[in-house]
A and B are shown apart, each in its own frame.
Chain A
Amino acid sequence: MPRRLRRSALQCRASSTRSENNPAECSARTSLSFFAGPRKESTDKVLGDTETSFEPQKVRILTDIIRQSAADLAGALASKQISAVEATQAHLDRIAAVDDDVHAFLQVDRDGALAAASEVDRRRAAGESLPTLAGVPIAVKDIATTRGLVTTAGSKMLEGWVPPYDATIVTRLREAGMPILGKTNMDEFAMGSSTEHSAYGPSHNPWDLERIPGGSGGGSSAAVAAFEAPLAIGTDTGGSIRQPAAVTGTVGIKPTYGGVSRYGLVALASSLDQAGPCSRSVLDAALLHEVIGGHDPMDSTSIDAPVPPVVEAARRADVKGMRVGLVKEISGEGFQPGVKARFDESVQLLTELGAEVVEVSCPSFEKGLAAYYLILPSEASSNLARFDAMRYGLRVGPKGIERPSAEQVMAASRDAGFGDEVKRRIILGTYALSSGYYDAYYGQAQKVRTLIARDFNAAFEQADVLVTPTAPTTAFKIGEKIDDPMAMYLNDVATIPANLAGIPGMSIPNGLADEDGLPSGMQFLAPATKDERLYQVGAALEAALNERWGAPILSKAPALAVKESI
């Protein structure tokens, strides 16, 4: 039955879910980890500092703010060692210093972020009990509507559009007291794997500014990788959180479909889109997941259940006895050798940690890419129809027509406002949905979707989680694949099946490829609604990798390839 039936009941449930984040309890734990434990060491390494322990002096913390994990920053904020304004200002300064090079942001909301931060400080000073991440700043992909702050989805079509409403996840960030630093770059309407399809120019990979940061959410990943933000929001329709995470050495999670509200996310493909966290550690992602996840009565496809216990799982970080499934069809064959090597090592590492590795087969995956490139354009062609120049967004008149009709204005505006990739997919989708072709294309693709879900169900009989490399290659050069859509589409071959089946997936950095020294990504997949398994296994492998590499992978970035701001 329609969701509105249960709206009042659901609202109660949703709010009680969020209040389960007992702020006092979490702050106590995070403040502990701020001063002790493995993460402190990693921080020092990033800074090139040789000290192995340090006193919690305020001066010192201030200079380190941008290097902190969100969890540590939350601890420092909770124990009033730094203020939210200081934390926010430090990141705004970092953005000012490096974003000309990285171009992670399309809009920076300096005033809004500082105002939100000072409100957090005021409330904290008044003794209010605040949510765990209160005062921790965040970057939001420009696909989520932000009241009063321009939202373009990377398109000329929405240049200068100021939404009158907040996306549900943005509301939740605000309620959590997280200052929004700005809106991050993306491929136009999230169509792409490199941000090269952004109407506002590409973002650059902090590991090598000549290279792509992945896409579509390359801006969010680049911002996190370049220490411009400790956390960011991404959206993932076929890999747009996970592939950018892989090529920037960061963490990205696509939650179970329906786990995070889509209300206020400019829709690409409604049945595939899912928002999720981008971060530099698995625990940070879990903390953000708890903020944005949970039922939303404004999204009919939102799951009516509490957020999975992801933070608890990230802290447990234990894989002993866990069955890890190696997907025969995506085991890295044909991938870049360095990517394949790191993947094999990671699997070995999981075995050493006590996981049981089994091989599973998902024969329908090979049809996934084809099905995806029918379903996505079909839904996108319909979702993007609303951009007609009538109520908002770009409006241009057709050339040489003095009194154009509404239809002519629509056509001219859509011609001027949409980029080539968007037009390509609208044409594909319009064709695929046409009567006479529907059954052969859209209908068949939906059947493939069922087959893929069936493959996953069978695989999850044998394994608790599945593993694959996240992306076939490390970050490629800007311009390298721009004229070859098929090569671009192949980036998502390992990530797409999760979207088609609605299951959750995570990418964590698992090392550097020998041939280019660039980060590679490890993907975990879990059954629908079992997102916590990703965090449990992801955090365990992350800890083991940090130990093996002596520090987080991200600390290996060559001075982050950008000028230091501090």
Chain B
Amino acid sequence: MPLEHVIAVVMVGGLVLYMLGGGADFGGGVWDLLASGPRREAQRSLIEGAIGPIWEANHVWFIFVFVLFFSAFPPAFTSLTTALFTPLTLYAMGLVMRGSAFTFRHYDSDPVRRRRFGALFSAASIGCPFLLGMMGAALVREQPLSLELDLFVVAGGFFALALVAALAATYLVVAAKDAAVREDFRRRAIVSLVVAGLASWLALAAAGDVAPLLVARVGRGLPAIAGTLFGSVAVFILVTRRYRAARLVVGALASTVVVGWAIAKGEVLVWGEHSLSSSRAHPATLQVLLVAS
């Protein structure tokens, strides 16, 4: 395998880890906002406890992929940051707001301020995966890269949001000590899995004209079958309350999505401009990057 392909595989691996860790963090923010009912505070403290210890270490995967990208494929990176300038800027602001609001809330004792920080944390936690989903969709469109909105891009945003929500809810089902809180998240996990499934169909249906390769390689290929399988098994596990393998299956589902996305992209980094081989760095740089990572 040429070095640039190895690097690309490593980057996809980083994205999978970001999805499993960072994605679940975002999802935690979603459920923080949607915490409701008599156990609202118990739900929130479960989320806070789950995010707390590994906080922000998860976003290191994003930086990892970003750094590999600009070191290994500099021209493609430059095209991407120029074309997606606005959503990336918003994403950066979202990361700042959610990270700091989460910490501020943790260390603040004033209830009013705690509520405001909480709202900021959840709002940013919803915005970030939505933006990532939209950018992911825009990157597989076979047209000059931009965040021009169409049904496919918007569906991509919703799909990503539902997926991270499902991921987090499933983790929280397993992490919950209290049976009632566990039931709350069990229902949420099922609903968000179903929503994610619907959003993925919507996205694939909308991809027909703008991303034919996605339809051919993913929609009619192994990734769609694997995704449907993992999704169905996940719902089954949650419905029948066999939680032991729940995290594993939902993790496999989320990983399938990332890998499927990468398969749809193939050699292309930025459509019409850069491929893996056309924009790769000097082999010496690639070797060092591989050793470092």
The judgment on whether A and B are partners is: no
